[in-house]
Structures are given as C-alpha cells and as structure tokens.
Chains A and B, each alone.
Chain A
Amino acid sequence: MNKKTASNECSMALSGFKIFSVIAFGVAIILFIAIASYKAMDTKLSNELSALPLPEVSEGMRGTMGIDKNINETTIDNYLGRSDAVYRDMRMLIDDADYKAIDGDSYLSGIVEGFEVIPLPFLTYPEGLPEAVGKGYSGKTLFSYDKENDKYVANYKESMQVLEDIFPKDKIIFLMCGGGGYAGMTKNLLVKLGWDKEKIYNVGGYWYYDGEHKTPIKMTIDGVETYAFWRLNYHNIDFSVLHEA
C-alpha cells in the first residue's frame, strides 16, 4: 500500500465518521423532541382529565343552595379547560327580576372564562325568588314545574333535545350563576330529568369568585357604563321554531 492510498482511505473513513456523527446527532435531536413533546402532551392530558372529587355539598347556607364543597368559586381555576366537561353560567344577560333591589345587578356583569351562558329562566321559572326582586321572567320556558307531583314537564316536543344539546349527558357539567341559586336550581332540574347527579357540580356564584380567570362584562367606555355582552358565548333558544308538546 502506498502513502497516497493510505491517506485516501483515512480521509474516506474520516468523512464516513463525520456523516455517521451528523446522522446520529440528527436522530438524537429528533428523539429528544419526540420524547419532550410526548411528555408535554402527557402532562397536559393528565392535567386536563385528572380525577375529580365526587360532588359534595358545602356546609351552612351555601349548602342549602347546593354549592359544592370541593369544586367551587375558590377552586374552579384548577378545573377549567377540561375536554371532558362543559361550563355553563345560568344567568340572564338582563334579568327581569330586579336584583338591584337586593343590592345585586340585574345585568350579567362578569363571568369566569370558559363558561357559556344559558339562562335558567329559559329552561324553567326559578323558584323562591325574594319578594323584593319582583316577579321575574314570565316568558316561554322549555319545562314547567309540576309542584304536586314534584316533576318537570316538557312544554315543547324538542325540550329534551335542546337540554341534552346544551348539557351533554356524557360530560361533566360545571354550573355557576351570581350567588349559586340559579346553578343549584339547574342541577335539580337536570337530576330530576335523568342526568347523573355525580357528574354535575354547582360551582357557586361569580360574586364570590376571586380567581385569575375573570372576564369583566361591566365596563365604562367614555364615562358611560356599558355591558360588553359581545364577550360572552351565549346559547339562544328560539322558542318560535319549537313545537308545543
């Protein structure tokens, strides 16, 4: 073997080694990225779908409204954004009941991010409103409450379908309102109509919420008090297209 051949062989081996190094480095990077992404996805998924405590009613008067002991205004931030859940706020945009008379606001003034609005009074008339707020909404509703038999009766052929579309039975349902009352009444309605009570949480009232995910609706623009309802995801029920039962 002469000197030139040996040097050629040496440089070939060197360039082979270089190619191998580059490929190995590339594979290592791809592997690293793949593992990191998998890990990140896995963590996200496990956060998203972590097991929930079973619904448990709070102590005191909060409990009489059915507000949950574990998942409520102070903890709901830990349960937002789950793919296995729906989030519903049961207030009207402008309530016919005069909540100003009892120091409240008849306008929906703020909401927790991710909650979609479906007013309870469109599902059924709220029971036991304080005298001071007046009669409240008296328009059409999907269901009527039959007090004698303690059951809800559908007012339209499509009532159940509408309800199932808004509150999917296969999902966990988080309910909120202003103080917890409308949310509690909604849970009662759903459970009486066959929903699984262990999948529905009365999270309580926006008035108590102090978390990181507030979406303010009440605001002042050029000195004028305004309600930014365009920020809300709102479920409208067009009763004119429904067929009376």
Chain B
Amino acid sequence: MTKKSERKNNSKLIIFSILTLVFLITLGVVGFSLLKNSEKQTTSSDEQISLNSEYLNTDGKQIEISKQTENTEDFLQNLITEEKSFVVYASLPICSGETAEFKEYVLRFQKENKISFYYLTSDYVKDTSIYETVKYFPSVIIYDKGKIVKYLRFDSDEDKDFYRSYDGFSKWFKANVKL
C-alpha cells in the first residue's frame, strides 16, 4: 500500500468516525427529548391531586379555620403533620377591578362541585406557614399530603385568566385536582 492510499484510507476513517459520532449524538438528543416528553405527559396526569374524601361530596361550604380554633397555625400544622390533601382559600378583600368577584367564583365552584375548602382571612394568613410561600392574596392553595403543590399567583401574568372568570378558575382547579 502506498503512502498516498494509506493517507486516503485514514481520512475516510476519520470522516466515517465523525459521521457516526454526529449520528449517535442526534439519536441521543432525539431519544432524550422523546423520553422527556412522555415523562412530562405522565407527570401532568399524575399532577392531579386526590383530596381526602372528607372534603368531597360535602355541602360545598368553606370551613373557616379561625372559627374552628383559637390557634390557626396549630390547626393548619396538624393537617400538614397528618399529611392531608386539602385546599385553602386565603382571602383578601379586593375593593375593585377585575378580581372583585373572585370570591363569588370560588364559592360557586365549591357549591356546584360539592367540595369543601378551608378558609382563612388575610388577618390570619400572615401568621401561618402559608405566608412563607404565598405572598399575595386572594389565592387558592392546594396541599397534597401536607405539602403545598399548587397555588394561584396574584402577581403572575400566567394566572390572570384563572382569577377573571368562573370558567377560568374552574379550568385551573380541575387541571390540578381530581374531582
């Protein structure tokens, strides 16, 4: 074999190796993204929370925590320790604007779906662990096994539509909680 043909063979080998490498990387990226996508789909359906049965098929009223106990935080902490899955409506009076009727939407939703939420007014919510996570109210906070997993963000553009109408709120809630 001459030196020239040997060099030619070497270059062929290098090109072949590069192409194989590029192919493998592409395959890896495509495979990974497909896997990630399917994982996401699985998680999103898994993300729907199952509430404890005591909150379902009820009269759909709000359970005012401050009327159940003198210590709101202790009451909430017990639910957390017992790893309950429940919903808290943390209220704040909105004097005007597009959120004025938000509480009405929540109440109607509870009634129509026979589901009970715990209820806290702004006077009490600041003394609870909720305030470590949620800073702006009103908000609806979903607990799964004692942990906050979802809540409506009053200061987020993404959540605007969920505050503005009954349908918006209903859509958000049903996407997150199995009814």
Which A residues are within 8 Å of any B CB, using their own CB?
Answer: 58-65, 97, 99, 102-105, 126-133, 177-179, 181-182, 184-185, 207-208, 210
Contact = CB atoms under 8 A, between A and B. Distances in A.
Contact of B93 (A58, A62, A63, A104): A104
B91 to A, nearest CB: 4
A185 to B, nearest CB: 7
A100 B126 CA distance: 18
Contacts, number: 91
A104 B93 CA distance: 5
A57 B98 CA distance: 15
Interface in B132-166: 135-136, 153-157, 159-160, 163
Given A59-B156, A62-B136, A132-B104, A181 B97 contact: yes
Given A62-B136, A208-B136, A210-B126, A178 B154 contact: no
Given A59-B156, A60-B153, A103-B121, A128 B96 contact: yes
B95 interface: yes
Given A59-B157, A62-B155, A129 B95 contact: yes
A205 B159 CA distance: 20
B94 interface: yes
Instruction: Tell which of B91, B94, B96, B136 has the most Cβ of chain A within 10 Å.
Output: B96
A207 B90 CA distance: 13
Contacts of A128: 96-97, 100
Given A103-B92, A208-B136, A60 B97 contact: no
B99 interface: yes
Given A60-B160, A62-B136, A207-B122, A103 B95 contact: no
Contacts of B94: 102, 130, 179, 181
B47 interface: no
6 contacts: A60-B154, A60-B157, A60-B159, A102-B94, A181-B94, A184-B97
Contacts of A181: 94-97
